[in-house]
Amino acid sequence: MAIIITDDCINCGACEPECPNNAIYEGGEEWRYSEGTALKGKIVLPDGRELGANDPHEAISDDYYFIVADKCTECIGFHDEPQCAAVCPVDCCVPDEDHQETDDDLYAKKRFLHNED
């Protein structure tokens, strides 16, 4: 499953540079699929949605850092554990129960984001 940042976040920013997929953004910041990935031009997401990799998307939170679930692989294939959770001083990076995924799902997402197929 993806990781979520709870509202206990103190906005220290320790997590953001640790993410290998650039799935973590500061509150209020627009995000793009192209940032931190190999995705370019028009893309078809695994769920069938078509969009531009560089299209801006609204912030998920305005108040604190957030993780884009579609880009979060829990660091699988990069690290032994989610790096955001490892560096968070207040333990607010936790499993997102709304985005349950198997290891196979997470590896497939990594391959999609980084054009490894």
Other C-beta atoms lying within 10 Å of the C-beta of residue 53: 15
Question: How far apart, in Å, do the first and last CA atoms of the chain sit?
Answer: 21
pTM for this structure?
Answer: 0.94
Pick from 63, 58, 67, 83: which is nearest to 24 by CA?
A: 67
Residue 1 banded pLDDT, cuts 50, 70, 90: confident
pLDDT at 21 (0 to 100): 97
> pLDDT digits over 39-97, tens only?
999 999 989 999 999 999 999 999 999 999 999 999 999 999 999 999 999 999 999 99
Q: What is the H or E stretch that residue 111 is in?
A: helix 103-113
What domains are there in the chain, each with its CATH number? 1-117 (3.30.70.20)
Two structure tokens written together for 89: 């001083």
Residues making up the chain, counted from first to last:
117
In the DSSP assignment, the letter for residue 31 is B
